[in-house]
Amino acid sequence: MGLESFLPQTPQGNATAAQVLTGYTFSSAAAGIGVSGTMPNQGVLNVPTNTPGSFPGGYYSRVLLQGWLTLASDTTARSDLAAAYDSNANLTYAIDGLNGAYFSTVTAYSHASNTWTTEASDTTARSSLAAAYDSSVSLTYVIDGGSSVVTGYVA
């Protein structure tokens, strides 16, 4: 056994008391030996969405968003449209609809970017239609709506 094992050890590391949870002790070059942590353990944080404000500092084991989020507005105001989620493209489509006249406009919402993009227009302008995505063929079907026309959209 070497002599060095009998000498006092110098703590290593740069942790400070504010970076260690309350109730725990630690040693570091920055803080010293046997220092108590001061970071509060806040547990789970439930955050109502669209509620501005700040929350106490500290450690949170989980953050849960509750309620409704206001996202980017659809770029085309209309009623009686259809919507479908394309799991392959990971996009939500807003399809056709009515605003005084029948629309063939298709817009796509990107959750990743929180933006809207204009897609290829439907071949038929219509409202009160239905839409569904078939993942086996990666097609979004747009069905009827004042007509019996069915179109399939591939992203």
Q: Least distance from C-beta 91 to other proteins, angstroms?
A: 5
Task: Choose which of 71, 120, 137, 150 interacts with other proteins (CB under 8 A).
Answer: 120
Q: How far is CA 15 from the centre of its chain?
A: 32
Least Cα distance to 95 among 148, 137, 134, 144 occurs for 144
Cβ nearer to other proteins, comparing 51 with 87: 87
Query: Which helix (DSSP H) or strand (DSSP E) does residue 92 occupy?
Result: strand 91-98
Spatial separation of the C-alpha atoms in residues 57 and 39, rounded to whole Å: 8
- Residue 64 interacting with other proteins (CB under 8 A): no
CA 36 vs CA 20, 41, 56, 58, 92: distances in Å: 8, 14, 20, 15, 50
Per-residue x/- track, 76-95, other proteins (CB under 8 A): xx--x-----x-xxxx----
Shortest Cβ 139–other proteins spacing (Å): 14
Q: In this chain, which of 12, 36, 49, 117 binds other proteins, going by CB under 8 A?
A: 117
Q: Does 150 bind other proteins (CB under 8 A)?
A: no
Indicate whether 69 belongs to the interface with other proteins (CB under 8 A): no
